[in-house]
Chain A
Amino acid sequence: MPRLVIDEREIEVPEGTKVIDAAEMLGIVIPRFCYHEALGSIGACRMCAVKFLQGPFKGVQMSCMIDARDGMVVSTTDEEAVQFRKRVIELLMKNHPLDCPVCDEGGQCLLQDETVSSGHGVRLFPGPKRTYRDQYLGPYIKHEMNRCIHCYRCSRFYQEFCGYRDLGPLQIGDRMYFGRFSDGALESPFSGNLVDICPTGVYTDKTARFKLRRWDLERAPSLCNQCSLGCATVANGHYRGVMRVEARFDSEVNGYFICDAGRFGFSYSNGGEGRRERPLGPKMAGAPASGPIALAGAREALENIAAKYGPEAIGAVGSDRNSLESQCMLALVCKTRGWLGPVFFSDPVVRRKTLAAVEALDGELAVSMREIAEADFVLVAGADPLNEAPMAALALRQAARKHAPVVVIDPRSIRLPFDFEHFPASPEEIEKYLGTLLRMAVEKDVAGLGKEGEEFFRATGFENFEPPAEMARLSELLGSSKRPVILCGTDVSVETTPAFAAECARLLRISGKQAGLFYLLPGAGSFGAALLSETAEKTFGSLIEDIENGVVRALVVAESDPFHFYPDRDRLERALSKLELLVAIDYFPSETVRRASIFYPASTIFETGSTYINQEGRVQFAQPVHRGGAPIRGGQHPPRVYSGLVPGGDHLPAWKVLWQIAGMAEEIAGGHGDISPQNFIPAALPAFDGLGAERGYPVDGPRLFAAKPGFRGKGGSAGGIGGERGEDPESFDLLMVEWMFGTSEFSAWSDSLDAALCAPYMSMNSRDAARAGLRDGDRVSVELDGGTFEIEVCVSDRTAGGVLVVPRHQALDWQKMKDFPVRVSAEKIRKI
């Protein structure tokens, strides 16, 4: 570990630390433009010049280009270095327009800061300024090339870090230009990070353009709840609206970046126009009601139902977008009041898969995204990282950049921004591929695997399976890897796969590797839901039956919309209309909300403190950003039309509404005053106490595991299912899948995401398509039990045979099936 002196202070840093980072460890932030920790150094801007006084380097040198070494004495304040940096600023400002007053970057501009701190004020250069033509880069990013200081951060982030190839450096010399081949939307779903990473205002957030100034914003550390990864964000509120979302650094989770769904998918919180207008006032029987009246009304109605039919006639429904607070309150209410539930999952298989994942994850196996980036072999089983958890795809790319092989076993024609091996296996075959690859990799070590290991190992020997030729090479690489990671999804895989994947990871550990396991779960709240639904076997599907049978008479639905996920819409409608009471608590203007007998508005993640446990068990807290609520915008300030709406609205955190309508005030907190999640979360989830005892509430960062470490040797079907599905070429498994844009509830209610949507299509294997007489681009109707939907066909060699892959797209009327799994016979697909 080299020891060096920077500005007369000594520091010891890890081998390979750049001087610029060593200084930062001392709290000395050396000016820089091109250097970015995530991108590494290129020495282009020359802004980080410092003077080396002693050691192997001498004189003014770039601190980003030199590794700290023993005996170095460095000065950041040496006059020569200071003057050099000042001149760099002068050179950059030679062409930079002084448009700070109309630049969205103003106030958060690195160039502005460095210019001011360098003391540069007067432009001595007598010539004219250079100008460029800007390009149209799509709906999210505004391009203003005149502001460019040519630091290369954008193109390096875009191409090297993310692996997209439509934005880069053009021209030469002082005509250098960063842009696309021609005008058009950026292809990368990580393009929003350009806004954060550009040290000046070349790329600004179009959705926030001319709306705000950094210093006017209410800013708070928040979380993205659009998928199960829980990336760290900074949310910016202003005038009761969320103005923009930026990435927040989190070394373990998302690093410096977030995806575009996370960045731009916030506008539901502000509400849109028409059908997307956010419901901010309570309603009873469809008519506006004041907050206290609605709460009292709901409470009374629920008490009546309980009195009439017993408390178990009230079903409590949550979701995977619930915060842990809401989930715990739901669990607590059910426990104390005797309501049925809580029900967090719609499909029993998904529930069991999620539970299996949560049960399998222990402190030994669970890896973070940072650790994925450092893996030297990654096996992706039944997961589509880019669509299900976009930032995981970026983490995989970082591993791939360091030459880690990435093997994807999945029925979909997976796309990832790097080269990888793809085995298009049907869901039933995933374990077969995974198990075989693993078997071939550790075959030699079988003796050392222990009894259970050997047994499990024997069970993974899939009979009659001829592994594809590439597998030999890949298994060798896996065999020689040191830090392999298995990334397992819970969406298309069969029920046993998550547990099977865990056992595979354990086996790799037994064979001496630092193996890790990383699950993708259905939603931000899935982990918490799994922890809390361990005892409640119910799913929404069984609840529907209970309603139909007259067992359940009332539903309390908190931040959940069955109309979004339930596969049989007709049946759902019939069941809901049979209810005597439907209480909905939400921030979306959902169909459930529209049909509720009593509605109470919930606060969004931006308006209330919320805890989420991400898919690796990390408990994270999103601070409230602003009060939110009734918007103040275009011409409505002050509101000119009288309305009953309280400024800011009546919205409350969903858990608080639940607490009130369940009449829990008496039970908890002594029947008066307020209540804090600090009190009720541990009551519902005792493990929580262990995490934050000394910290108290909120808890942010530690991991919570349900599983005990150790090999169980019983995961999955272990050879049971492999290839068992009847080889019936005349019918297909219908796989309903997630897309990055267009399938989530957030994307349904955030008009800001509309621009990123593309039309849904159904992918199928080319041989299947040929047999069915279909060609790429054909439009077909697909007949299901409850009706048909129409969709375009996309034919691919990389889609597994025997499956039809369809997104749960908001533009697709797909909820016409009885239940999952669905098989579609060939004659039910007709070309139109």
Chain B
Amino acid sequence: MEFDYPRVLFKNRKPDRVATLEEYRESGGYEALQKFVGGRVSPKEVIRLVSESGLLGRGGAGFPAGMKWSSVPDSSPFPRYLVANADEMEPGTFKDRVLMHVDPHCIIEGMVLAAYSFSASKGFFFVRPSYESSAHILERELEIARKAGFLGHRILGTDFSFDIVVHRSGGRYICGEASALLNAIMGKRPNPVKPPPYPTEKGLWEKPTVVNNVETLANIPHILRNGPEWFKGLSATGHGAGTKLYAISGRVSRPGAVELPIGTRFSEIIDEHCGGMAPGARFKACLPGGASTRFMTGEHYDIPMDFEDLKKIGNRLGTAAIMVFDHNTCLLGATLNLMEFFARESCGWCTPCREGLPYMLELLRRIENGEGREEYIPNLRILCKQVWNSYCALAPGAAEPVISLLDFFEDEVRQHISEKGCPFHAKAGH
């Protein structure tokens, strides 16, 4: 590639296979483990370094990783658990899958280090059904790590023991939500649970539990090996830290997952790393951080793709899954499609989401099908506001595309109503 950025998570990326333990070790893998766990460095020191690195959670909410670990009270009971969230069911998001297929050991090492920091003894990989291949890889590599003494009983001969199992999900978006995920692991219905208590105090089986995204965890060995300052220096902006896996899909020439300094400009991501828009396609809008972020228009084509910068324009980096739509895409259709997803995946716990999302879906569908009415637009706005006050973040996320559609493309929506049908329908094949 023409840009010479340091590659961290994708350092061992091979075009057609998973990096082996040896390859990972050659690139410095498990050195951090040797140094921190093998050398019995204080767990507090691990937390301090990670906190200092400014690593923000990569699962969508951007919560500081070090802070999460340190919120496990010292006095809290054992056993303690660590969960690597590899559910990744938000439409457009697939970076964790690529990561698991690229370099599983860097996630495993990250988990052991994270576990060490708050004395967890058991870890779970939470994997969705369509990622069976990832589950398969993980199970294979976990065994290899165990054999090498990096995992399991008395790691590296120390008195620290930690083992990881793969937990297969039955497949539902809500399972990715941290508290619902814990219910799912325990074999309960995966409804979310509002804190207090926080999972770091009472999680799995009422014991302290940390849930982290797999990308978050994969960063840990590198941070500990190279230091927080190095990590901060990776960022393309002054305020960010680390690299970021961006997953780009939709109407670009080369969709895929790329690792870039966090805060790389959107224009550079699309034009340089994805080969620009697909042939014949002009940029219309994108969802910059997964299905539950707001549409971003060409106005912000140059924006640095970092948590802070997107927050400034009222949007979110989310999972950094960028879905690109071109001038031929009916954004109402896209929103309708997203709403079908969210309404179908609502866990059914709370009223605004369970009833409100199908309500929005019905209105959007009618508009798309040419049965729309003017009053549907204000009604949709009210519904978006209503679902904002749902039990968990699923429904507010679901409202984001809708409300931004109305904010930026209300004319297009109105056109559907006045023309009694989709203006794009004739043009495009969908």
Q: Do chains A and B touch in the complex (CB under 8 A)?
A: yes
Residues of A near any B CB (own CB < 8 A): 43-47, 49, 60-61, 65, 84, 87-88, 91-92, 94-95, 124-127, 149-150, 152, 169, 171-176
A173 near B366: Cβ-Cβ < 8 Å = no
Which of A65, A124, A150 touches B348 (beta carbons < 8 Å)? Answer: A150
Residue ID in chain A nearest B345 by CB atoms = A173
Which of B346, B348, B362 touches A127 (beta carbons < 8 Å)? Answer: B362
B348 near A172: Cβ-Cβ < 8 Å = yes
Which of A65, A95, A169 touches B355 (beta carbons < 8 Å)? Answer: A95
Residues of B near any A CB (own CB < 8 A): 172, 189, 194, 343-352, 354-359, 362-363, 366, 375, 379, 382-383, 386, 389-391
A44 near B346: Cβ-Cβ < 8 Å = no
B351 near A47: Cβ-Cβ < 8 Å = yes
Given A43-B194, A173-B346, answer yes or no on A92-B355 (Cβ-Cβ < 8 Å): yes
B4 CB, min distance to chain A CBs, angstroms: 48
Kindly state the separation between the CA atoms of A46 and B172 in the bound complex, as whole angstroms: 23
Kindly state the separation between the CA atoms of A46 and B355 in the bound complex, as whole angstroms: 12
Given A44-B349, A127-B362, answer yes or no on A176-B354 (Cβ-Cβ < 8 Å): yes
Residue ID in chain A nearest B190 by CB atoms = A172
Neighbouring B residues of A175 by C-beta, 8 Å: 348
Residue from A43, A91, A173, A176 whose CB has the most chain B CB atoms within 10 Å: A173
Neighbouring A residues of B379 by C-beta, 8 Å: 124
Given A43-B391, A94-B359, A127-B362, answer yes or no on A173-B344 (Cβ-Cβ < 8 Å): yes
A174 near B194: Cβ-Cβ < 8 Å = no
Which of A44, A91, A125, A173 touches B391 (beta carbons < 8 Å)? Answer: A44
Neighbouring B residues of A44 by C-beta, 8 Å: 349-351, 391
Give 11 CB contacts A-B under 8 Å: A43-B350, A44-B391, A46-B390, A47-B351, A92-B355, A126-B362, A127-B359, A171-B348, A174-B358, A175-B348, A176-B348
Which of B354, B375, B386 touches A87 (beta carbons < 8 Å)? Answer: B386
A150 near B389: Cβ-Cβ < 8 Å = no
Residue ID in chain A nearest B373 by CB atoms = A126
Kindly state the separation between the CA atoms of A44 and B355 in the bound complex, as whole angstroms: 12
Residue from B344, B359, B391 whose CB has the most chain A CB atoms within 10 Å: B359
Which of A91, A92, A125 touches B362 (beta carbons < 8 Å)? Answer: A125
Given A92-B351, A150-B351, A150-B354, answer yes or no on A87-B382 (Cβ-Cβ < 8 Å): yes
Kindly state the separation between the CA atoms of A49 and B390 in the bound complex, as whole angstroms: 11
> 3 closest A-B pairs (Cβ-Cβ)?
A91-B355, A176-B348, A127-B362
Neighbouring B residues of A65 by C-beta, 8 Å: 194
Kindly state the separation between the CA atoms of A127 and B379 in the bound complex, as whole angstroms: 14
Which of B347, B352, B359, B386 touches A172 (beta carbons < 8 Å)? Answer: B347
A174 near B354: Cβ-Cβ < 8 Å = yes
Residue ID in chain B nearest A151 by CB atoms = B351
B312 CB, min distance to chain A CBs, angstroms: 22
A46 near B350: Cβ-Cβ < 8 Å = yes
A46 near B354: Cβ-Cβ < 8 Å = no
B362 near A60: Cβ-Cβ < 8 Å = no
Kindly state the separation between the CA atoms of A125 and B366 in the bound complex, as whole angstroms: 11
A59 CB, min distance to chain B CBs, angstroms: 9
Neighbouring A residues of B343 by C-beta, 8 Å: 173-174
B384 CB, min distance to chain A CBs, angstroms: 11
A172 near B346: Cβ-Cβ < 8 Å = yes
Kindly state the separation between the CA atoms of A119 and B363 in the bound complex, as whole angstroms: 23
Neighbouring A residues of B351 by C-beta, 8 Å: 44-47, 88, 91-92, 149-150
Neighbouring A residues of B366 by C-beta, 8 Å: 126
B189 near A169: Cβ-Cβ < 8 Å = yes
Residue from B345, B356, B383 whose CB has the most chain A CB atoms within 10 Å: B356
Neighbouring B residues of A87 by C-beta, 8 Å: 382-383, 386
A173 near B389: Cβ-Cβ < 8 Å = no
A46 near B362: Cβ-Cβ < 8 Å = no
Kindly state the separation between the CA atoms of A587 and B366 in the bound complex, as whole angstroms: 65
Neighbouring A residues of B356 by C-beta, 8 Å: 91
Q: 12 more A-B contacts (CB under 8 A) besides A91-B356, A92-B355?
A: A46-B350, A46-B389, A84-B386, A87-B383, A88-B351, A88-B386, A94-B355, A126-B362, A126-B363, A127-B358, A150-B351, A173-B344
Neighbouring B residues of A95 by C-beta, 8 Å: 355
Kindly state the separation between the CA atoms of A92 and B358 in the bound complex, as whole angstroms: 12
Kindly state the separation between the CA atoms of A35 and B430 in the bound complex, as whole angstroms: 45
Kindly state the separation between the CA atoms of A94 and B362 in the bound complex, as whole angstroms: 12
Neighbouring B residues of A46 by C-beta, 8 Å: 350-352, 389-391
Kindly state the separation between the CA atoms of A770 and B345 in the bound complex, as whole angstroms: 55
Kindly state the separation between the CA atoms of A532 and B327 in the bound complex, as whole angstroms: 93
B194 near A172: Cβ-Cβ < 8 Å = no
Kindly state the separation between the CA atoms of A46 and B391 in the bound complex, as whole angstroms: 8
Residue ID in chain A nearest B375 by CB atoms = A124
Neighbouring A residues of B354 by C-beta, 8 Å: 150, 173-174, 176
Neighbouring B residues of A174 by C-beta, 8 Å: 343, 346, 348, 354-355, 357-358
A169 CB, min distance to chain B CBs, angstroms: 6
Kindly state the separation between the CA atoms of A328 and B177 in the bound complex, as whole angstroms: 65
Residue ID in chain A nearest B174 by CB atoms = A172
Residue from B343, B346, B354, B379 whose CB has the most chain A CB atoms within 10 Å: B354
Residue ID in chain A nearest B196 by CB atoms = A67
Neighbouring B residues of A127 by C-beta, 8 Å: 358-359, 362
A179 CB, min distance to chain B CBs, angstroms: 14
Neighbouring A residues of B347 by C-beta, 8 Å: 172-173
A313 CB, min distance to chain B CBs, angstroms: 70
A91 near B352: Cβ-Cβ < 8 Å = yes
Neighbouring B residues of A92 by C-beta, 8 Å: 351, 355
Neighbouring A residues of B386 by C-beta, 8 Å: 84, 87-88, 91
Kindly state the separation between the CA atoms of A176 and B351 in the bound complex, as whole angstroms: 11
Given A126-B366, A150-B354, answer yes or no on A91-B348 (Cβ-Cβ < 8 Å): no
Kindly state the separation between the CA atoms of A47 and B356 in the bound complex, as whole angstroms: 14
B194 near A88: Cβ-Cβ < 8 Å = no
Neighbouring A residues of B349 by C-beta, 8 Å: 44, 152
Neighbouring B residues of A152 by C-beta, 8 Å: 349
B362 CB, min distance to chain A CBs, angstroms: 4
B38 CB, min distance to chain A CBs, angstroms: 40
Neighbouring A residues of B344 by C-beta, 8 Å: 173
Kindly state the separation between the CA atoms of A429 and B142 in the bound complex, as whole angstroms: 56
Residue ID in chain A nearest B382 by CB atoms = A87
Kindly state the separation between the CA atoms of A175 and B343 in the bound complex, as whole angstroms: 10
Residue ID in chain B nearest A155 by CB atoms = B189
Neighbouring B residues of A172 by C-beta, 8 Å: 172, 345-348
Which of B357, B375, B389, B391 touches A60 (beta carbons < 8 Å)? Answer: B389
Neighbouring A residues of B363 by C-beta, 8 Å: 126
Neighbouring B residues of A176 by C-beta, 8 Å: 348, 354
Neighbouring B residues of A126 by C-beta, 8 Å: 362-363, 366
Which of B348, B375, B383, B390 touches A173 (beta carbons < 8 Å)? Answer: B348
A810 CB, min distance to chain B CBs, angstroms: 42
Neighbouring B residues of A171 by C-beta, 8 Å: 348
Kindly state the separation between the CA atoms of A651 and B35 in the bound complex, as whole angstroms: 92
Neighbouring A residues of B383 by C-beta, 8 Å: 87
Neighbouring A residues of B355 by C-beta, 8 Å: 91-92, 94-95, 174
A503 CB, min distance to chain B CBs, angstroms: 38
A125 near B352: Cβ-Cβ < 8 Å = no
A88 near B352: Cβ-Cβ < 8 Å = yes
A50 CB, min distance to chain B CBs, angstroms: 12
A158 CB, min distance to chain B CBs, angstroms: 14
Kindly state the separation between the CA atoms of A10 and B139 in the bound complex, as whole angstroms: 60
Kindly state the separation between the CA atoms of A43 and B179 in the bound complex, as whole angstroms: 15
B129 CB, min distance to chain A CBs, angstroms: 15
Residue ID in chain A nearest B194 by CB atoms = A43
Kindly state the separation between the CA atoms of A171 and B352 in the bound complex, as whole angstroms: 17
Neighbouring B residues of A150 by C-beta, 8 Å: 348, 351, 354
Kindly state the separation between the CA atoms of A46 and B350 in the bound complex, as whole angstroms: 7
Kindly state the separation between the CA atoms of A674 and B383 in the bound complex, as whole angstroms: 67
Kindly state the separation between the CA atoms of A11 and B291 in the bound complex, as whole angstroms: 45
Kindly state the separation between the CA atoms of A60 and B386 in the bound complex, as whole angstroms: 11
Kindly state the separation between the CA atoms of A150 and B350 in the bound complex, as whole angstroms: 8
A132 CB, min distance to chain B CBs, angstroms: 13
Neighbouring A residues of B359 by C-beta, 8 Å: 91, 94, 125, 127
